Amino acid sequence: MVTRILIVDDHPMVIEGIKALLQQAEEITVAGTVTDAFTALTFLKSNEVDVVLLDINLPDLSGIELCGKLKREFPRLKVLGMSTFKERSYITRMIEQGASGYVLKNVSREELIQAIGQVCAGQMYLDAEVSQVLVASPLPRPIPILTSREKEVLAWIAEGWTNNQIADKLFVSPLTVDSHRKNLLAKFGVKNTAALVKIAVQNQLV
């Protein structure tokens, strides 16, 4: 029984690399390689594939979104996430979208083959470094849900504008802006603007 895989990565270099790594493994064949999400979807409509090796960073659609799409359209398909980063949010979001595993791009040949085999067999595969990240980093406080006005105010605050200046920009009273600021502090559970901005920047909210 041969495992047919599809490689989705926008780096030709990486594609070639994976192909080279898997050359010796006769239980795995590379059914195809594509460099963007759209082509991946069309490819899968006309080809039988067992496992998709999916890069997180794609030009058109993020790997995470594509993963969800794939699992909805082809539920029996297994997805093995892949990226350079061992960022907690990436990994968990990938898994939430139905991925069966996650490897870093510095995997060895042996580990990659092992991962594909395991995923294909219906098991979960996380490489050692990745699972370490999952257990090591404490669950961060979830990012609160902000209203559109709050996001707007937050962005201006991070730019260094005062309540008065922001009020001018938004054509509202400075008191209103101050309310939003206070709500932001409360939602994020922080003591002052400095801590607020730190979290906002770290979470790419600005």
Partner DNA sequence: TTTTTTCTCCCCTTTTTCGGGGATTTTTAC
Partner DNA sequence: GTAAAAATCCCCGAAAAAGGGGAGAAAAAA
Binding residue (CB under 8 A) for a second copy from 2, 16, 60, 123: 16
Binding mask 89-118 for a second copy (x = CB under 8 A): ----------------xxxxx--x------
d(CA 33, CA 11): 11
From 32-40, 53-61, 76-84, 174-182, span contacting DNA (CB under 7 A) = 174-182
Binding residue (CB under 7 A) for DNA from 29, 123, 147, 203: 147
From 43-51, 119-127, 128-136, 154-162, span contacting a second copy (CB under 8 A) = 154-162
d(CA 184, CA 190): 9
d(CA 167, CA 188): 22
Residues whose CB is less than 8 angstroms from the CB of residue 1 and which lie 6 or more positions away in sequence, other chains included: 27
Residue 173's binding partner, choosing from DNA, a second copy, none, with beta-carbon cut-off 5 to 8 A by kind?
A: DNA
d(CA 196, CA 180): 12
From 33-41, 69-77, 128-136, 173-181, span contacting DNA (CB under 7 A) = 173-181
CB of 38 to DNA, least distance (A): 27
d(CA 52, CA 64): 13
Backbone phi, then psi, for 126, in 5-degree steps?
Answer: -125, 130
